[in-house]
């Protein structure tokens, strides 16, 4: 299915461009022409003062720019229809007007003047005829370059003084600059007082770029002296990758790159769901593009260009707009039909997809045994001190509670993994865990005996090396070498240079208090289910006089955040509120502090006759949009992390909500700000609508509806949405991600390790560690869908364009996530249904926007017979109520369908239980609810002094783990490593089989 989508999207891309999809720069050319008639974008206030100064005689056919091929304002009378054939302006007599003539004026009267009262009519005049003879009295300057009469225009001018005649240095003079600008008389222009901010930002980047290049060159020119360290670190990277499991064709080897991640379960069912969600989004866009292209090709191909005409002169634009109106009236049913299909297809498809995926998660749960199948969560555990044997106390309490109604389940309690409140001692716990792992490398690191003999020194070795480097001869260690050493010291210095003693840890373990949550492990899934049933009948299990809840576990141990188990639901709500406050403040500060100054800066240009912002303004816009997304990404990550959820999947869910909400809020603020500025500028310049009314009068007389449907506003919003979408949102952040997140750190790390003989073993490994995989991609996909569903409100020409770039961008994003999962991220295991279900719930937002667009366009269609596209049966507040009702109504219906159709299928009783016991699963899977519990592992060694103690599971160091069945630990790292290396003999395998048979006979 995915390959079909790729080929279809490429074909549609070719067809779309061959049928009129032109490059973006051609649209810019059109935009310039539109502005010369009066652009629908940013205008200066100078026109408003000039209007007052010249008694408001500003009747301009630039009102044409208020007419949209897709959106028209209801008028009191229809504009005259365009002639069947256009007249060449060169064939007209001087002083005779015609509707939207083509060509250029003759030499005897070389300037085209717009008529003051006749809609979209032009006549040819001499230079002294500008502003006379019925032409627009405000257009008194004869511009030889464009061959037309025009207004006085000085960049960022508030009050512009103009003379009459041909344009020369003395004909335009600014009497008063806009706020924030000052007048330079010698250049006859207004300069921004705050331009230094943009200059400072650009200049400040230069030293950083130079420093980075010099540092890189200094590192690059050094000889390679530590190839051994690089090879060791690369081997450790491979062990930490997503590798094939014990039942795969090539156990413990990387997956082939052509693995289908929508089908193959390489890292849990949640990973398959993530890639299927991305694939479904791409197929959704492909289907909508196919239907839209089919409708357009079956009716009129000019619909591909509605709103995107490539015109060369103001007269061409007049003709195109009038023609476009006729086309829009005739084929509005096409867009309404497409919206009907898009809405129905999206709604039914979303529910069908949800049912399909719910069945998939259910099948995965019954297909293979996982640790969560053997575990029940104990909620409401009373607080106990660590000086006693809490593990045995809880285990006995669970057995006693189950002994009456579920004796078999009570007998099969393997162990209890206790949750502890150790957030105050987190650094100490981390320190001793690293000592435990690195001190038992068992000769794996042949490069440094110091690391093997004394693991506690590991975390401080690089810091000592950095200090040593600083004390060496300055002729040997330069400035850039010190920078590199300091960076390396920080890279590996996880314990902040604090050394702890074993007595400190023992004291902390005895004083530590239990968290309200713990986990009881059963030998079989059947016994776990019996225990849950018995506990439900008794209302819970009694522990130290407190009734505790026993519930089913749905998460795997890899996602459990043990350091957050002490946080209660009420405390988390407070953290979530602080997170929302952080996101809102971030959006407001970014918009007010950065986007508002940029918008004000670009609005100072008149956009007439080449008076436009410089090219770097486009790069500033791209930087602002991408920068906003990066900032919101960081803020959402910090806010979700500070919520202190118990599971990583819950953290990712909260991140998706925070990030999506902030992006949508930021988008709305940007669009509203841009719309207000555009409206103010167009009012100042005197823009008009199709029937000749001023845009300001439309707002005062007809209200918000017709103002928003006018072409200037529609064009400004449409262009902003497309610029915001591509490449700023759809592509650029993801195009840079592999270089900043994977390839760049790897290359730099290899250079630093290879050129420093001191970086050995685990230090080298830390310099080349892999990146983490997250489920935040749901948020990226959903926000991009929101942007796509904004386009049906504007000109149809943008629809095919945005669908094409959306498909191309998400094909790349899918490939990037595929590449990252299989080669460039640490091993992970996503099995929770929750993030995927949240993505399905949030998909209701873009679908609801399609319904609102259908109501909006359907209302316009109801006025087609009267040819008033700005009309419709619903007006003003009734249209607003209908749109809001459609949006809210769909959200309610969509969420109810998910709740009562999709979700129950996921919760259907699974009658198939696994025969494989916990001990067998634990033999081949290292990360269990015991071996991932940091405090329990340390208590096993330092408090109870078990031999061997419970081994902590660290990614890439599983071979150091030792089994202790009495503690519920069955994973033998040395044996699994021998099996991987091929050194596990046939004799050992037969002996193991005999032991299993004997054990099975004893149990029987």
Position 619 pLDDT exceeds 70: yes
Between 41 and 933, residue with greater pLDDT: 933
- What 3-state class would DSSP assign to 276? helix
Per-residue pLDDT, 273: 96
In the chain, the percentage of residues whose pLDDT exceeds 90 is 36
Per-residue pLDDT, 193: 72
Q: How crowded is residue 528: how many other Cβ atoms within 10 Å of its Cβ?
A: 26
Per-residue pLDDT, 845: 96
Mean pLDDT over residues 400-424, rounded?
Answer: 90
**b/e for 714-730, b at 16 or more Cβ within 10 A?**
bbbbbbbbbbbbbbbbb
- What 3-state class would DSSP assign to 493? coil
Per-residue pLDDT, 8: 38
Mean pLDDT over residues 957-967, rounded?
Answer: 90
318 vs 338: CA distance, rounded Å: 28
- What 3-state class would DSSP assign to 305? coil
Per-residue pLDDT, 65: 36
Per-residue pLDDT, 19: 39
- What 3-state class would DSSP assign to 19? coil
The strand pair at 513-522 and 413-421 is best described as antiparallel
Per-residue pLDDT, 52: 36
969 vs 845: CA distance, rounded Å: 47
849 vs 797: CA distance, rounded Å: 19
- Rounded to two decimals, the pTM is 0.81
Task: Give tens-digit pLDDT for 340-350.
Answer: 999 999 999 99
414 vs 524: CA distance, rounded Å: 10
Task: Give tens-digit pLDDT for 672-727.
Answer: 877 777 777 667 655 666 555 666 777 777 777 777 777 667 777 778 888 889 98
630 vs 623: CA distance, rounded Å: 10
Say which DSSP state 693 is in.
-
Per-residue pLDDT, 448: 34
Per-residue pLDDT, 128: 86
Helical segments of 173-310, H only: 195-220, 227-240, 269-299
Task: Give tens-digit pLDDT for 246-305.
Answer: 677 777 789 999 999 999 999 989 999 999 999 999 999 999 999 999 999 999 888 888
Least confident of 48-57, 814-823, 947-956, 979-988: 48-57
Cα distances (Å, whole numbers) of residue 97 to 87, 94, 118, 145, 314: 10, 8, 9, 21, 14
Task: Give tens-digit pLDDT for 304-351.
Answer: 887 777 666 667 667 766 666 677 777 888 999 999 999 999 999 999
Per-residue pLDDT, 861: 83
Per-residue pLDDT, 692: 55
263 vs 231: CA distance, rounded Å: 33
Between 801 and 364, residue with greater pLDDT: 801
Best CA proximity match to 855, nearest among 339, 152, 159: 339
Mean pLDDT over residues 458-482, rounded?
Answer: 48
Q: How crowded is residue 408: how many other Cβ atoms within 10 Å of its Cβ?
A: 14
What is the pLDDT of the chain when averaged over all its residues? 79
942, burial (CB in 10 Å: exposed 0-12, middle 13-18, buried 19+): middle
Sign for the CA dihedral angle at 393, 398, 401, 406 comes to negative
983 vs 728: CA distance, rounded Å: 53
Best CA proximity match to 712, nearest among 688, 733, 684: 688
Per-residue pLDDT, 16: 39
Sequence-separated (6 or more) residues with CB below 8 Å from residue 800: 16, 21, 289, 292, 293, 296, 304
| Residue 867: band (very low, low, confident or very high) from pLDDT cuts 50, 70, 90 | low
- What 3-state class would DSSP assign to 551? strand
843 vs 440: CA distance, rounded Å: 49
Position 998 pLDDT exceeds 90: no
| Residue 414: band (very low, low, confident or very high) from pLDDT cuts 50, 70, 90 | very high
Best CA proximity match to 69, nearest among 796, 722, 565: 796
Least confident of 775-789, 826-840, 850-864, 980-994: 980-994
Least confident of 159-168, 509-518, 782-791, 822-831: 159-168
| Residue 87: band (very low, low, confident or very high) from pLDDT cuts 50, 70, 90 | confident
Per-residue pLDDT, 505: 92
Between 801 and 496, residue with greater pLDDT: 801
């Amino acid at each position: 299915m995915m390959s079909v989508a790729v080929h279809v999207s490429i074909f549609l891309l070719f067809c779309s461009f061959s049928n009129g999809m032109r490059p973006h720069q051609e649209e810019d050319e059109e935009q310039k022409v539109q502005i010369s008639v009066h652009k629908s974008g940013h205008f200066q206030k100078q026109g408003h003062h000039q209007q007052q100064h010249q008694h408001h005689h500003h009747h301009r056919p630039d009102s044409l720019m208020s007419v949209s091929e897709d959106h028209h304002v209801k008028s009191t009378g229809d504009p005259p229809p365009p002639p069947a054939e256009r007249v060449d302006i060169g064939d007209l007599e001087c002083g005779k007007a015609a509707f939207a003539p083509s060509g250029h004026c003759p030499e005897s009267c070389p300037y085209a003047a717009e008529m003051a009262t006749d809609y979209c009519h032009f006549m040819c005049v001499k230079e002294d005829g500008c502003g006379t003879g019925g032409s627009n009295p405000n257009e008194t300057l004869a511009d030889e370059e464009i061959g037309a009469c025009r207004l006085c225009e000085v960049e960022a001018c508030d009050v512009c003084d103009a003379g009459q005649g041909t344009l020369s240095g003395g004909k335009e003079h600014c009497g008063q600059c806009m706020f924030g600008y000052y007048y330079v008389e010698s250049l006859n222009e207004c300069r921004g007082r705050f331009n230094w901010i943009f200059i400072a930002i650009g200049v400040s980047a230069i030293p950083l770029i130079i420093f980075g290049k010099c540092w890189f060159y200094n590192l690059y020119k050094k000889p390679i002296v530590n190839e051994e360290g690089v090879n060791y670190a690369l081997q450790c990277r491979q062990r930490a990758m997503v590798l094939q499991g014990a039942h795969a064709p090539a156990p413990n080897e990387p997956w082939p790159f052509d693995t289908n991640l929508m089908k193959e379960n390489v890292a849990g069912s949640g990973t398959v769901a993530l890639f299927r969600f991305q694939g479904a989004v791409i197929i959704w866009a492909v289907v909508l593009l196919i239907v839209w292209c089919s409708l357009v090709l079956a009716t009129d191909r000019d619909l591909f260009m509605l709103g995107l005409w490539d015109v060369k002169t103001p007269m061409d634009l007049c003709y195109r707009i009038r023609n476009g109106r006729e086309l829009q009236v005739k084929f509005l049913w096409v867009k309404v039909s497409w919206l009907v299909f898009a809405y129905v297809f999206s709604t039914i498809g979303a529910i069908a997809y949800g049912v399909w995926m719910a069945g998939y998660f259910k099948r995965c749960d019954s297909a293979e045994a996982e640790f969560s199948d053997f575990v029940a969560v104990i909620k409401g555990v009373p607080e106990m001190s660590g000086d006693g044997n809490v593990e045995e106390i809880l285990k006995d309490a669970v057995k006693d509670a189950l002994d009456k109604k579920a004796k078999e389940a009570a007998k099969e309690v393997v162990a209890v993994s206790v949750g502890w409140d150790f957030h105050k001692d987190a650094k100490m716990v981390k320190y001793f865990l690293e000592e435990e792992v690195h001190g038992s490398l068992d000769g794996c690191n042949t490069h440094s005996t110091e690391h093997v003999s004394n693991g506690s020194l590991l975390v401080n070795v690089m810091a000592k090396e950095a200090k040593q480097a600083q004390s060496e001869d300055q002729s040997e260690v330069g400035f850039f070498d010190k920078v590199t050493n300091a960076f390396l010291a920080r890279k590996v210095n996880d314990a902040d240079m604090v050394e702890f003693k074993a007595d400190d840890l023992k004291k902390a373990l005895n004083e530590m208090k239990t968290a309200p949550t713990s986990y009881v492990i059963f030998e079989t899934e059947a016994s776990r289910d019996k225990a849950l049933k018995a506990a439900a009948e008794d209302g819970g299990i009694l522990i130290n006089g407190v009734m505790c809840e026993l519930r089913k576990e749905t998460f795997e141990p890899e996602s459990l955040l043990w350091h957050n188990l002490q946080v209660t639901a009420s405390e988390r709500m407070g953290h979530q509120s602080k997170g929302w406050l952080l996101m809102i403040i971030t959006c407001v500060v970014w918009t007010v502090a950065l986007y508002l100054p940029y918008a004000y800066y670009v609005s100072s240009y008149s956009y007439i006759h080449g008076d436009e912002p410089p090219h770097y303004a486009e790069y500033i816009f791209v930087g602002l949009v991408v920068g906003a997304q990066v900032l919101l990404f960081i803020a959402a990550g910090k806010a979700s992390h500070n919520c202190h959820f118990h599971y990583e999947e819950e953290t990712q869910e909260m991140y998706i909500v925070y990030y999506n909400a902030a992006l949508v809020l930021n988008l709305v603020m940007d669009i509203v700000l841009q719309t207000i500025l555009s409206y103010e500028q167009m009012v100042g310049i005197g823009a008009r609508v199709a029937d000749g009314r001023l845009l300001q009068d439309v707002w005062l007389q007809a209200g918000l509806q017709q103002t928003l449907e006018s072409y200037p506003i529609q064009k400004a919003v449409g262009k902003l949405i497309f610029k915001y979408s591509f490449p700023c949102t759809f592509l650029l952040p993801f195009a840079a991600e592999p270089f900043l997140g994977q390839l760049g750190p790897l290359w730099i790390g290899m250079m630093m390790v290879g050129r420093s003989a001191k970086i050995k073993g685990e230090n080298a490994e830390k310099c080349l560690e892999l990146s983490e995989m997250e489920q935040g991609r749901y948020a990226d996909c959903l926000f991009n869908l929101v942007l796509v569903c904004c386009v049906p409100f504007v000109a149809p020409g943008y629809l095919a364009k945005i669908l094409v770039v959306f498909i191309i961008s998400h094909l790349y994003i899918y490939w990037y996530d595929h590449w990252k999962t299989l080669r460039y991220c640490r091993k992970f295991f996503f099995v929770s249904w929750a993030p995927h279900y949240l993505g399905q719930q949030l998909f209701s937002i873009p679908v609801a926007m399609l319904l609102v667009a259908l109501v909006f366009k359907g209302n316009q269609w109801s006025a087609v017979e009267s040819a008033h596209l700005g009309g419709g049966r619903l007006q003003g507040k009734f249209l607003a109520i209908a749109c809001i009702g459609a949006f809210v109504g769909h959200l309610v219906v969509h969420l109810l369908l998910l709740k009562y159709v999709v979700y129950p299928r996921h919760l259907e009783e699974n009658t198939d239980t696994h025969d494989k016991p916990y001990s067998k699963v634990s033999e081949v899977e290292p990360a269990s609810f015991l071996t991932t519990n940091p405090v329990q592992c340390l208590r096993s060694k330092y408090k109870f002094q078990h031999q061997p103690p419970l081994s902590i599971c660290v990614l890439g160091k599983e071979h150091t783990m030792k089994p202790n069945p009495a503690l519920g630990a069955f994973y033998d790292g040395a044996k699994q490593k021998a099996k991987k290396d091929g050194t596990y003999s046939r004799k050992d395998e037969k002996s193991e089989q005999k032991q299993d048979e004997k054990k099975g006979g004893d149990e029987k």
